[in-house]
Structure formats: structure tokens, C-alpha cells
Amino acid sequence: MIVNLYRFLCRISPKLKVLIWKQWYQLISKYYKRKEWTFMNYGYAPIGNQTESIEVEEKDPDQFCKQLYHHVVGNVDLKGMSVLEVGSGRGGGSHYMNNHFKPDKMVGVDFSENAVNLCNKNYTLNGLSFEVGDAELLPFSDSSFDVIVNVESSHCYNSVDNFLGQVKRVLRKGGYFLFTDFRRKEDMGALLESLNNSGLTLIKETDITHNVVEALKLDNENKIALIHKTIHKSLVKPFLQFSGVKGSKIYENLKNRDNIYQSFVFQKTS
């Protein structure tokens, strides 16, 4: 019911979609501050001959979320680079990239003031910082970063074209845009057209829908337990839908490929 209402409202007004998402993230960042909840992506699990699994601590609850970042970011050596994550959320991805890939500077930017405040409280590492900012009007000067990362965030934006224009502006020449997200099957063509018209050069494109579904399967029990442990019972059902547990709308749509999830590597060559 809630998911269908949300989709209806988003179709009426993309600006309303942004407002709804912002208020949602403001809410969960204000009232749910547990440090063990640092990621919000659907995750990635290698399948078959793929060798992208990462070394994690035993029973790491964030294993699959970290593997999504590893899949996206592992295509480029970040050591010594200046890296920006747009849509940094609760900060787990930026923290992981800072620790694992050793950039010289790691900045996370997010439109939720509460999320940014939470990140700056939880993470006090040299080289890692978080700022409030709009993906469609990034608060940075031209050619500021070597790499821009965007993980499962762009579906919240009013205009992907505006976002991509900001990416190209803020990237240095030769820099990389590392991007992954999902779209409804009928909307994927519009996303690909926007990417093709961005002025960035496509290096690699991968359909990872099956990998995301596999991660959701493997992480299902852990997510359900965490939600029941940390979320007020009146909000459990919306959170189960939001997190993509088995039987949720997002899980079924990905499983049936009504939603397609892809990852990309782009470079700014001119």
C-alpha cells in the first residue's frame, strides 16, 4: 500500500519524490542512530566464477553492502586520490572506501542534514569528512575530485541530467565516475540515454541484477532480525519493504527483472 502510494506520487511530481525521500532519510537519521546500521544499499554477492568476494570479519553484518562498493570501486585504484561520494547516507560506504582503498581525501555529501550530522559524530578519521549538499548542485568548485562515486542514490533525484552535469563539472580531466543503481525496466532506457549524453566516456557497464538478488537472499534473515531489534513495531512493515527482504516489492521486482540493476565506470576524457 505504502509502496504503491509512493510510486504514484513520484509519477505525479519528481520534485515531490525528492521531498519524500529527504524527509524519510531525515527521519531515520534522527530517530535511528545505532552505529551498527551504517549501510543502506541492497548489496552484491558474486555468482559462479566471479571472484569479487572480499575478506570480512566473521559474520560481518555489512558483508554484502561492502561487496557492492568493492564491485563498483574496485575497477579504479583510489590510493592517493581525492574521492567524493554523492549520496553518502549513514556513512558506511565512505568509511569503507577510506579504510580499504586508501584515498588521500574522502568526502561524503548528502542532502539529509541529520545523516551528515550522524556521520560526523560517528566517524572522526583523518582524510574522511561529510558535508550537506544537493546532488544536482554540488557545493564544490570545478575539477575538485579525481573520482566520484554514486551508489544506489540517483533514483531519488529530481533530474539525473542535472546530476551528471555536476559530476562532469566537479571531476578533474582523466577522473572517474563510478556509478551503480536500479531502475524499473521501462525506465532504464531513459537512464542510459542520460548517461550517453553526459559527455563522459563509458569504460565498463555490467548488469548486476542477479548479484543483488543473491545478496538479498543471503542477507534476508540478518535484515529481518536487525529490523525487529531496532525499529519500532509501528514502522517494521515499511522498513521491511524499504530493505528489500524476501517477498517485498523491491525484491520481487528485481527477482523478476521488472527492475534492472546496473553498474558503470565512466571517465572524463575531455
Q: What SS3 string covers the chain?
A: CHHHHHHHHHHHCHHHHHHHHHHHHHHHHHHCCCCCCCCCCCCCCCCCCCCCCCCCCCCCCCHHHHHHHHHHHCCCCCCCCEEEEECCCCCHHHHHHHHHHCCCEEEEEECCHHHHHHHHHHCCCCCEEEEECECCECCCCCCCEEEEEEECCHHHCCCHHHHHHHHHHHEEEEEEEEEEEEEEHHHHHHHHHHHHCCCCEEEEEEECHHHHHHHHHHCHHHHHHHHHHHCCHHHHHHHHHHHCCCCCHHHHHHHCCCEEEEEEEEECCC
Task: Please give the single-letter amino acid code of residue 78.
Answer: L
DSSP bridge pairs for 202: 266
Q: Note the pLDDT of residue 231.
A: 78
Question: Rounded CA gap, 262 and 188, in Å?
Answer: 9
Mean pLDDT per 10-residue section of the chain, whose length is 270 residues: 46 57 55 65 91 71 93 95 96 95 97 90 90 96 98 93 98 98 96 98 98 96 86 82 92 98 97
Q: Note the pLDDT of residue 3.
A: 45
Altogether, the residues listed in the chain come to a count of 270
Question: Rounded CA gap, 68 and 46, in Å?
Answer: 10
Contacts of 19 (CB under 8 A, 6+ apart): none
Domain spans of the chain? Answer: 2-52+59-267
Task: Please give the single-letter amino acid code of residue 111.
Answer: F
* CA distances to 13, 41, 81, 261 from 245, in Å: 27, 12, 36, 16
CA angle 178, 203, 191 (to 5 degrees): 65
Other CB atoms within a 10 A radius of the CB of residue 230 amount to 14
φ/ψ of residue 266, rounded to 5: -120, 155
CATH dotted code for 2-52+59-267: 3.40.50.150
Q: Note the pLDDT of residue 263.
A: 98
Mean pLDDT, the chain, rounded, equals: 88
Contact present, 142 and 167 (Cβ < 8 Å): no
Contact present, 263 and 206 (Cβ < 8 Å): yes
